[in-house]
Amino acid sequence: MPYTKWATRLSAVIREVPLALYLNQKGLKRFLSVPVDQLYSEFYVEKESFQAVLRGHMKELWKNPDLYTNEYEKAAQSLIEKAKRVYRAIKGDRAILWEAYEQYYQEKIKYGFYFVSTFSIEEFIIPKLSELFPNEIIMITSPDKPFSFQIMKKELLKRSVSEVQKEFGWLNVYNYHDGDYPVSYFAEMKRDLKEYEVKDIFENLDRNKQEFTTFIATIQDQNLKRDCILAHQCAFIKTDRVDRWKRAMPYIREMLKTITNETEGWTMLEIINLTQEELKNVVLHQKYPLLKEVQLRSQKECLFNIQDSKLSFIYDKNEIQKMKQQLTPQDAPEISNLQGVIASPGKAKGKVIIVRGKHDLAKVKEGNVLIATYTIPDYTPAMKKAAAIITEEGGLTSHAAVISRELRKPCVMNIHNATKTFKDGECVEVDAEKGIVRKV
């Protein structure tokens, strides 16, 4: 059964299983979460059935493009509202709390449509549009609405730091045990924030909206027009869909924190690695699974597998190692030149800084070349300092692509094994006119 690596992400059972179940329900034969280190896991999917799932989502969007307009907004709001219901039920009857959480969990599974369908657009629409409209593709795949991180910057110019922290502290939440950004984070950002930079962001969004409106009016073929609109909407949704989920997470975090505080000898990291059935037994009956087994999950010393909508874990070290050897490439060979996908044109040269997570962002200095598996809004200040951005993952509607264009930074994506091929301090040249990165 051949597999393909879908993504590398911060991982926890509660965080990842709903999406894996969604994929399984849509026809994916197998989903594997393979630990990389103490924080990250690589997600592998059975190749043939995954392609079928992507095609199915594309057909669904073609049949009902409204799924990316009004229906998306309804789905995102519903996820947040169900998370709020959980929060309101924390101090009450545990049966009511569990009912609210189960409804959130099922909503999160359904919300998987918006996580998967953006990949369908990158796979089936954008390559065709890139060939048909080489001069317009960047405009087509750039958003005309602001992300939450951009709105936060605008609010920082008008409101107090404490007010902004209350409204946007959740931006730091990427896993259920993450805390909000403190006031100090926003205070530091406000000190460095320039009014003209924020003005430029919103003027670019307005300009792109006008340019896309003018462009789309020239497209006579209705199917082609539909595809251009879907790709354009995807540029916003691909980042916003994660932001909406992040906005819901703190409400669930408070429930999980309450359970942790009631559970002697358990940490929050262990609680977020319970299965749905295990969590139900804890919430309703105070019955706990074997702690040592759950610790292996939280310490990334196991592999989890979903087949036929059933979750199972592999704890045997030999079996895990064997599976890793089958799935993951061996150590990257010495290669001086790598080819990728151009996300934002330009050329730059600088010293490499590998960013494996938010903890590495402070290493990025002016003129460095930032190399990461992927980027999220939290990376934006570091991307601003960088001379160029290189990512292992991403498409033309990804966060890395959109923000690199906003910052006018050269960006090359889909450089496989970039974080392994290059090392901190090495000098590289980024040619984002040709999509080439080379050691110098």
Helix (H) or strand (E) holding 142: none
Gap between the Cα atoms of 11 and 29, Å rounded: 21
Q: What percent of the chain has pLDDT over 90?
A: 89
Q: Virtual CA dihedral for 359, 360, 365, 371, nearest 10 degrees? A: -140
Among 340, 382, 378, which residue's Cα sits nearest to residue 363? Answer: 382
Strand partners, 351: 427
Per-residue pLDDT band for 144 (boundaries 50, 70, 90) equals: very high
The helix/strand/coil state of 36 is coil
The answer to whether residue 270 scores a pLDDT higher than 80 is yes
What local confidence, expressed as pLDDT, does residue 125 receive?
98
Q: What is the pLDDT of residue 420?
A: 87
Residue spans of beta strands (DSSP E) within 230-315: 303-307, 310-314
Q: What's the whole-number mean pLDDT along residues 155-159?
A: 97
Largest Cα span, the chain:
65
Place of tokens 């429930």: 255
Best CA proximity match to 301, nearest among 273, 261, 262: 273
Please give the backbone phi and psi of residue 33, each rounded to the nearest 5 degrees, phi first: -110, 115
Residue 60: the pLDDT is 97
Determine the average pLDDT of the residues in 163-184.
Answer: 97
Strand 427-431 to strand 436-439: parallel, antiparallel, or no bridges (unpaired)? Answer: antiparallel
- Residue 298 makes CB contacts below 8 A (sequence gap 6+) with 12, 267, 269, 270, 272, 273
Classify residue 309 as left (phi > 0), alpha (psi -120 to 50) or beta: left
Burial bucket for residue 221 (CB in 10 Å: 0-12, 13-18, 19+) = exposed
Decide which of 115 and 323 is more confident.
Answer: 115
Whether the per-residue pLDDT at 435 is higher than 90: the answer is: yes
Residue 38 — very low, low, confident or very high, per pLDDT cuts 50/70/90?
A: confident
Q: Could you give the residue range(s) of every CATH 3.50.30.10 domain in the chain?
A: 337-439
Architecture of domain 337-439: 3-Layer(bba) Sandwich (3.50)
pTM confidence score:
0.92
- Average pLDDT of the residues in 183-192: 96
Query: Does pLDDT of 29 surpass 70?
Result: yes
Judge contact between 4 and 54, C-beta under 8 A. Answer: no
> Which residue, 424, 435, 376, is CA-closest to 402?
376
Residues 24-49: what's their mean pLDDT?
Answer: 93
Q: At 106, list the tokens.
A: 């099922």
**Percent of residues, the chain, with pLDDT higher than 70:** 98
The secondary structure of 381-412 as a DSSP string is HHHHH-SEEEESS--TTSHHHHHHHHHT--EE
Per-residue pLDDT band for 188 (boundaries 50, 70, 90) equals: very high
Are 395 and 401 a contacting pair, CB within 8 Å? yes
What is the reported pLDDT for 333? 54
Assess whether pLDDT exceeds 60 at residue 434: yes
- pLDDT score of 141: 96
pLDDT score recorded for residue 334: 60
Q: What tokens were used for 323?
A: 């599976």
**What's the confidence (pLDDT) of residue 331?**
54
Mean pLDDT of 396-415: 94
| Residue 246: both structure tokens together | 């992040």
Q: Could you report the per-residue pLDDT of 330-388, keeping only the tens digit for each?
A: 555 566 688 999 999 999 999 999 999 888 999 999 999 999 999 999 999 999 999 99
Average model confidence (pLDDT) for the chain?
Answer: 95
Report whether pLDDT(299) > 60.
Answer: yes
d(CA 397, CA 119): 10
* Tokens of residue 387, six digits: 């001379």
Q: What is the dihedral sign for C-alpha 91, 73, 384, 404?
A: positive
**Rounded mean pLDDT, 12-32:** 97
Specify the pLDDT at position 69.
86
What integer pLDDT is reported at residue 39 of this predicted model? 81
